[in-house]
Amino acid sequence: MAYGVIVCTKCRQHAQIIEIGSSKTTRCQKCNSKLQLRRMRVFFSSDDLQEAISVRTQIQAQIAESGRTPKMKDTGFGNGMQDFGNEIDEKSACLIDNRKARRKKKANEIILGILIENSNQMGIEDLKEKALKMDIGKEQFEDCIKKLKDTRELYSPSNDVIRIV
């Protein structure tokens, strides 16, 4: 039986061991999100459960220490290995990456952030201008404003002003 180590894609705070090929879905043990295994990145796989446990422990420690999810390395054993002490071998260590993982903010989070910075109220054109500077497209901006109004997070007290409820 092969074991794999994955990290939850929803909370990004929990590494867990799965049996590869035994099921199509699993649940995160921390946030209880349903995870599609075919879409998950397997950070490490092995037929030895103890080896998988060791790697999972190292990945979980790295997540707890840095607050971010590790990424797989594209390189071989000799390039850019981390020092994990004597607890983990070269084969395991090369699969853990220390690059900074950034979660891209959603357009609605950016728009709400801009409004919060400006006393929860702003002119629609000024808001659009700032949003465009933060890499939000014109169509995406319009769609996002419409959705935020539909969910009653924003409203327009007049035609040219947007305000947070």
Angle (CA) 29 31 36, round 5°: 75
pTM: 0.42
Give the per-residue pLDDT at 48. 87
pLDDT tens-digit series, residues 27-52: 988 888 898 888 888 888 888 888 88
3-state DSSP assignment of residue 35: strand
Could you please report the per-residue DSSP string of 53-89?
A: HHHHHHHHHHHHHHSS--B--SS-TTSS----TTSS-
Using pLDDT thresholds of 50, 70 and 90, give the confidence band for residue 23.
confident
Using pLDDT thresholds of 50, 70 and 90, give the confidence band for residue 14.
confident
Torsion (CA) 22, 19, 49, 95 in degrees, nearest 10:
140
What are the Cα distances from residue 20, in Å, to 47, 50, 58, 148, 159?
A: 10, 15, 20, 41, 56
pLDDT tens-digit series, residues 94-127: 554 444 445 557 888 889 989 999 889 999 999 9
